[in-house]
């Protein structure tokens, strides 16, 4: 019987639990366990009985028609059982169909996407944003998460985001079957950036990570998966078409280049994943001198291996399809054919050729004649998490910035004060000016008044003088009138 998601009519009910019990996700291994129930036993007995009868008939026929080939008769018996593969507990898989090809999305090849999680709450939303954007048909991708040694809300948040993703209105959004596997591996070292990347902690950390990956994969890999994609949740930027882009190369194991952006004061960008490399003579010679259990970890001064790293070969303008054969691979983003794992290649949790985890995986795949390739000019970007040194430096810079701001503020204050003073004198001057103007005005008015008064006075004096001058004429007129009256002999009356 075909797995459920191969039934086209029901393409999206792909094994994701639709039950009302939303708190638990069934982990699929349990789903395919044969039932040791009495009906099953009975059916098995019936099958045996039927086979016996077919055999008996076959032998009988052989004796009746000795010319007929017993083989054809027997195969007839098998075909008849093959035709009625009706038993619910029997699954039939043809693994020749799931080898993995360059254009898997056209052939409906299923991918198992594995993501190991540890205290990943802060990155989950970003990871789900990537899941939204993948262009590879979502219903062909099954998701498998391993939640281990987490003290934050990784698991509840993961369930929440998965519910939302699978309930998305857009029929293109929901993914295939989802498995969440919870298991602690007793990671003792702190997961903060410094202890994670410190040299001393590397070997044991890598071995535990290897165990986690193996558990996750062995629990989630199904016979119908053609590909396995390993992806870290702290990838910040990656092409939406990354699955198709990597798949097109049709390699057994393939990784992109992984860099990370940096703040400007640190130079803008930097190679991140130094675990993808090509083997060197120096490293092989070094490996020979090391203890059997020793694990070489790349990217540390303690082991000068002089290996060509995929990361350092990046040319931003280089051909993104250019391939480079590598021996060790980094785990940020690995696309591998499922057959690699089915062949027994895994993530060694011990020293394999002086390497462990993903680097050991690359070496083991190489050892088993699989192709292992890196793309130096096809780059994805890991999240920038400042190291303790960076944080210290940033704190110093922050202090400097504050000091500069204080200084700036003080300068501003000084300028303001001076300006204020200037404005004060200005206003005083303004006042003085009006004062003076007023004074001048007053003076002017006074002067005008005096002038006016003076003029008035002169006019009056002039008028008085004129009056005085005309007075004798009046007397003379009066006298003349008197004289005339006297001459006319008229009694001179007093005018009163
Ligand atoms: C996914 O696509 C959207 C829309 O193009 C974009 O805003 C978002 O940043 C993308 N997410 C990631 C993680 O690249």
Assigned CATH class of 101-385: alpha beta
* Cα 259 to middle of ligand 1, angstroms: 19
- Local confidence band at 70 (pLDDT 50, 70, 90 cut-offs): very low
Token pair, residue 400, equals 């400097």
Token pair, residue 229, equals 């994609």
Residue 4 reports pLDDT greater than 70: no
Atom 2 in ligand 1: residue holding the nearest Cα:
133
Residue 94 reports pLDDT greater than 80: yes
| Mean pLDDT value of segment 454-465 | 77
Report the alpha-carbon distance of residue 312 to residue 125 in Å, rounded: 30
Which residue bears the tokens 């190991």? 116
Residue 406 φ then ψ, to 5°: -60, -50
Atom 10 in ligand 1: residue holding the nearest Cα:
129
Atom of ligand 1 nearest to the CA of 132: 1
pLDDT at 25: 47
Report the alpha-carbon distance of residue 471 to residue 481 in Å, rounded: 16
Q: Higher-confidence residue: 79 or 354?
A: 354
240 close to ligand 1 (CB < 6 Angstrom): no
353: left (phi over 0), alpha (psi -120 to 50) or beta: left
**CB-count exposure of residue 475 (10 Å: 0-12, 13-18, 19+):** exposed
Residue 87 reports pLDDT greater than 90: no
239 close to ligand 1 (CB < 6 Angstrom): no
Residue 112 reports pLDDT greater than 80: yes
75 close to ligand 1 (CB < 6 Angstrom): no
Dihedral angle, C-alpha 130, 133, 142, 385, nearest 10 °: -10
Expressed in angstroms, the distance from the first to the final Cα of the chain is: 162
Residue 104 reports pLDDT greater than 70: yes
pLDDT at 446: 80
Residue 287 reports pLDDT greater than 70: yes
24 close to ligand 1 (CB < 6 Angstrom): no
* Cα 324 to middle of ligand 1, angstroms: 29
Domain boundaries, the chain: 24-92, 101-385
Report the alpha-carbon distance of residue 361 to residue 347 in Å, rounded: 5
Give the strand pairing for 372-382 and 324-325: antiparallel
Token pair, residue 480, equals 């003349």
3-class SS at 114?
Answer: strand
pLDDT at 354: 93
Token pair, residue 337, equals 């054919």
In the chain, the percentage of residues whose pLDDT exceeds 70 is 72
Atom of ligand 1 nearest to the CA of 236: 13
pLDDT at 140: 97
3-class SS at 94?
Answer: coil
125 close to ligand 1 (CB < 6 Angstrom): no
Residue 255 reports pLDDT greater than 60: yes
Token pair, residue 101, equals 């090809």
Q: What is the DSSP string of 196-238?
A: HH-TTTHHHHHHHHHHHHHHHHHHH--TTEEEEEEE-TTEEE-
pLDDT at 18: 44
Report the alpha-carbon distance of residue 460 to residue 462 in Å, rounded: 5
Which residue bears the tokens 């360059």? 102
- Local confidence band at 45 (pLDDT 50, 70, 90 cut-offs): low
- Local confidence band at 157 (pLDDT 50, 70, 90 cut-offs): very high
Which residue bears the tokens 């785990």? 331
Residue-wise pLDDT tens digits, 416-434: 888 887 666 656 666 667 7
Q: How many C-beta neighbours within 10 Å does residue 186 have? A: 8
Q: What is the DSSP string of 359-375?
A: HHHHHHHHHTT--EEEE
3-class SS at 335?
Answer: strand
Q: For the whole model, what pTM was predicted?
A: 0.66
46 close to ligand 1 (CB < 6 Angstrom): no
pLDDT at 323: 97
- Local confidence band at 277 (pLDDT 50, 70, 90 cut-offs): very high
Residue-wise pLDDT tens digits, 387-413: 788 888 888 888 888 999 999 999 999
- 359 close to 213: Cβ distance less than 8 angstroms: no
Q: What is the DSSP letter of 305?
A: -
pLDDT at 19: 45
- 356 close to 207: Cβ distance less than 8 angstroms: yes
Q: Higher-confidence residue: 155 or 66?
A: 155
């Amino acid at each position: 019987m075909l797995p459920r998601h191969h039934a086209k009519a029901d393409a999206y009910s792909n094994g994701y639990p639709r039950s009302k019990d939303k708190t638990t996700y069934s982990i699929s291994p349990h789903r395919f366990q044969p039932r040791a129930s009495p009906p099953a036993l009975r059916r098995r007995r019936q099958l045996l009985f039927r086979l016996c009868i077919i055999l008996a008939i076959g032998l009988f026929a052989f004796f009746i028609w000795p010319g007929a080939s017993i083989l054809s008769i027997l195969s007839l018996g098998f075909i008849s059982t093959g035709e009625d593969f009706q038993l619910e507990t029997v699954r039939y898989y043809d693994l020749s169909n799931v080898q993995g090809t360059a254009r898997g999305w056209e052939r409906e090849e299923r991918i198992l996407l594995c993501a190991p999680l540890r205290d990943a709450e802060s990155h989950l939303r970003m990871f789900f944003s990537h899941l939204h954007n993948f262009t590879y048909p979502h219903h062909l991708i099954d998701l498998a998460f391993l939640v281990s040694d987490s003290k934050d809300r990784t698991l509840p948040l993961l369930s929440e985001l998965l519910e939302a993703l699978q309930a998305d209105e857009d029929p293109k959004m929901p993914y295939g079957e989802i498995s969440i596997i919870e298991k602690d591996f007793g990671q003792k070292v702190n997961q903060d950036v410094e202890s994670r990347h410190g040299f001393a902690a590397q070997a044991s950390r890598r071995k535990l990570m290897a165990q986690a990956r193996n558990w996750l994969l062995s629990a989630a890999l199904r016979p119908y998966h053609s590909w396995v994609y390993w992806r870290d949740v702290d990838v910040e930027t990656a092409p939406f078409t990354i699955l198709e882009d990597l798949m097109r190369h049709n390699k057994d194991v393939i990784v992109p280049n992984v860099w990370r952006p940096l703040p400007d004061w640190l130079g803008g960008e930097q190679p991140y994943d130094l675990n993808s490399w090509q083997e060197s003579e120096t490293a092989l010679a070094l490996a020979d001198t090391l203890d059997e259990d020793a694990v070489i970890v790349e990217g540390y001064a303690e082991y000068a291996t002089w290996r060509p790293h995929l990361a350092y070969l990046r040319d931003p303008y280089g051909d993104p399809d250019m391939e480079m054969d590598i021996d060790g691979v980094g785990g940020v983003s690995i696309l591998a054919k499922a057959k690699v794992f089915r062949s027994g290649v895994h993530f060694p949790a011990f020293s394999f050729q002086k390497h462990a985890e993903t680097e050991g995986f690359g070496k083991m795949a190489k050892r088993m004649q699989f192709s292992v390739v890196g793309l130096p000019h096809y780059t994805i970007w890991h999240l920038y998490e400042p190291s303790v040194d960076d944080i210290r430096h940033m704190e110093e810079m922050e202090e400097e910035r504050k000091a500069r701001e204080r200084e700036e503020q003080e300068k501003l204050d000084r300028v303001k004060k001076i300006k204020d003073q200037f404005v004060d004198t200005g206003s005083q001057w303004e006042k003085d000016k009006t004062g003076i103007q007023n004074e001048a005005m007053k003076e002017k008015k006074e002067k005008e008044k005096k002038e006016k008064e003076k003029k008035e006075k002169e006019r009056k004096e002039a008028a008085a003088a004129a009056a005085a001058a005309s007075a004798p004429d009046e007397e003379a007129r009066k006298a003349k009138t008197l004289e005339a009256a006297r001459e006319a002999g008229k009694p001179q009356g007093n005018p009163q």
